[in-house]
Structure 1
């Protein structure tokens, strides 16, 4: 049975259901920004939370992970977000920005697993790419050489002679970061010379391995994943890059592209055999919790929704494994701040 994700306007205030008040006071209004991938899950939790907590409103805005973290780290006070959705871990440099603005009590809550997926229009011949082939097709300078590939057959003669056209997220997106880390860098490091470069010059390695070509073969399609699905479904030969839940919700219009012979499914993402598997997070601003007691209740509701059999599993979120789930539940209870030394 097809699972349903709640889709609302990108800056949606979810009105409290059944209550007489609208929660106008700042203490009764929670603000969440960040990842477009995590957005539907947080939106669903927010809707249920408001039903159980009349008078409290939750504003959920899809800004992309990078832009959301920048807003989150801008300061403390009613004008700044309380939480940020992220489709990757917080970076050490981002935590430093947070700390410089007084945001030092950052709480990390893993909420589930997602798959960075490649999609194509439904009805097209099934496509199976390796991380090396994807890297060769998308890199600005594959293995330090001039990019000349115009079709996938130029990348590898075994692939179809279809023009390379990939629609994906912009640099501000956590999904773009995941594409670089999980796919492009791994494809790049298949060359021993690139591994050696990483040891010698990390900046040069990053530029060679993660910089995407800018000649039109890769199209930045924005943060609206539903719109990306629409574009790919109407463009035979095009490939899209987005989170697994959006693929699962649109299997009537698009189909998955296998990576290394592995098709993204709940099972292959959960056991991490799918190369694009990644954890999803919500980061909480601890400095706001005293003034907004509803934050703690929201975290508890989110933790309950992410478990096996929880509400979000029915909406396309792949639950964490048993050990990770237990750790996440404990973290939601302890609310211990992230250790800056653990960040990369």
Structure 2
């Protein structure tokens, strides 16, 4: 073999290694709720930077975490969007697969809207009534045992509610919105009811996490509608009796088609969510795989843009999509964590 052939072979091999060990395009997965915000930032980034527009996939928070935590190879995502905080078990899964340097980015608040078609009369529902409408098991008449959910109409739960069929279009188990809904509605109500707590006292682990308090009915009343919240909006326009569960941003985007129900006498608005008076509100995040920063140079630039005042300040672009901004001191702290690539710890997640 000639020297020229050897040299050409080495050059080709070096180019192939470079191609496999670096890329310009940021890869993002995760929450369908955070997806519109992340996509807008990605589009802006593609316009103003020298890098290509990042690829953003809506996989659901849980699905995104599985992909994100699969390893540090460049064929895994750089960022996972989340409509709830990363779980301790997800952090441990990441660590097991070598994903040990993660930065948490808190971007703002979002409410979980309970919505219906704008063509029918709206009504107020309490968190307890909502929990009883979707739970797999509910208290018996004497409150001494749990029975399979018998409710078919809202009026059967409480005479003050309309005589409408209970049909709920909501997110699947892989969704962070589903996790938040279970925690903020079912768990927060049922963990205070003796009929639930007494039955689970023997199972300390289940009692501690209230996992059994958040089982949603599977008898056809609650209809899992995928990770595409726009699909739920479409279904509500076709079935006027139904209600849907999705992020507040989708309510903002579709005010001409759907309206939010009042929950505990409070409507979902930017003001009620930011003040904490709307009872079903949560924080939104994205998680950065710092191991990719060296080989994906666009990663730091994209996250810097996302956390900029231009995007998430009180008058930031993302507020036009329904993002509820953080207080300035909290926002500054969140931005500093990203700019300094602060490493997330399990202890911090447990706080």
**TM-score (structure 1 length as normaliser):** 0.89
Identify if the C-alpha distance between structure 1 residues 291 and 198 changes in structure 2 by more than 3 Å, giving closer, same or farther. farther
Q: Secondary structure at the match of 2:223?
A: strand
- Which residue of structure 1 aligns with residue 63 of structure 2? 67
Q: Secondary structure at the match of 1:230?
A: helix
Matches within 5 A, 1:198-237: 201=203, 202-203=205-206, 206-237=210-241
- Which residue of structure 1 aligns with residue 160 of structure 2? 158
- Which residue of structure 1 aligns with residue 150 of structure 2? 148
Query: Would you say the 8 A contact 2:21–2:295 is kept in 1?
Result: no
- Distance in 1 between the 2:49 and 2:21 partners? 14
- Which residue of structure 2 aligns with residue 111 of structure 1? 107
- Distance in 2 between the 1:341 and 1:85 partners? 21
- Which residue of structure 1 aligns with residue 342 of structure 2? 336
Residue 146 of structure 1 deviates from its aligned partner by 2.5
- Distance in 1 between the 2:327 and 2:119 partners? 34
Residue 343 of structure 1 deviates from its aligned partner by 2.4
Identify if the C-alpha distance between structure 1 residues 140 and 82 changes in structure 2 by more than 3 Å, giving closer, same or farther. same
- Which residue of structure 2 aligns with residue 134 of structure 1? 130
- Which residue of structure 2 aligns with residue 20 of structure 1? none
- Which residue of structure 2 aligns with residue 290 of structure 1? 294
Q: Secondary structure at the match of 1:142?
A: strand
Q: Describe the superposition over 1:226-246 as per-residue Cα deviations: whole angstroms up to 9, x where unpaired.
A: 111010122111000000000
Residue 293 of structure 1 deviates from its aligned partner by 2.2
- Distance in 2 between the 1:57 and 1:163 partners? 45
- Distance in 1 between the 2:108 and 2:238 partners? 31
Matches within 5 A, 1:166-181: 166-181=168-183
Q: Secondary structure at the match of 2:326?
A: coil
1:40 pairs with 2:44: no
- Which residue of structure 2 aligns with residue 317 of structure 1? 323
Residue 126 of structure 1 deviates from its aligned partner by 1.6
Query: Would you say the 8 A contact 1:132–1:186 is kept in 2?
Result: no
Within the candidate set 327, 333, 336, 1:327 is matched to: 333
Q: Secondary structure at the match of 1:118?
A: strand
- Distance in 1 between the 2:206 and 2:220 partners? 25
Query: Would you say the 8 A contact 1:106–1:283 is kept in 2?
Result: yes
Q: Secondary structure at the match of 1:251?
A: coil
**TM-score (structure 2 length as normaliser):** 0.87
Residue 25 of structure 1 deviates from its aligned partner by 9.1
Within the candidate set 61, 66, 73, 1:77 is matched to: 73
Higher mean C-alpha displacement, 67-76 vs 303-312: 303-312
1:54 pairs with 2:50: yes
Query: Would you say the 8 A contact 2:126–2:263 is kept in 1?
Result: yes
Q: Secondary structure at the match of 2:266?
A: coil
- Distance in 2 between the 1:163 and 1:112 partners? 35
- Distance in 2 between the 1:55 and 1:108 partners? 23
Residue 197 of structure 1 deviates from its aligned partner by 6.0
Query: Would you say the 8 A contact 1:132–1:190 is kept in 2?
Result: no
Q: Secondary structure at the match of 1:57?
A: coil
- Distance in 2 between the 1:99 and 1:86 partners? 18
Q: Where do 5+ consecutive residues of structure 2 fail to align?
A: 1-18, 140-145
Query: Would you say the 8 A contact 1:152–1:159 is kept in 2?
Result: yes
Q: Where do 5+ consecutive residues of structure 1 fail to align?
A: 1-22
Within the candidate set 287, 303, 309, 2:307 is matched to: 303
Aligned CA RMSD, in angstroms, stands at 1.9
- Distance in 2 between the 1:270 and 1:90 partners? 22
Query: Would you say the 8 A contact 2:191–2:210 is kept in 1?
Result: no
Count of residue correspondences: 322
1:272 pairs with 2:268: no
Q: Secondary structure at the match of 1:89?
A: coil
- Which residue of structure 2 aligns with residue 121 of structure 1? 117
- Distance in 1 between the 2:222 and 2:280 partners? 18
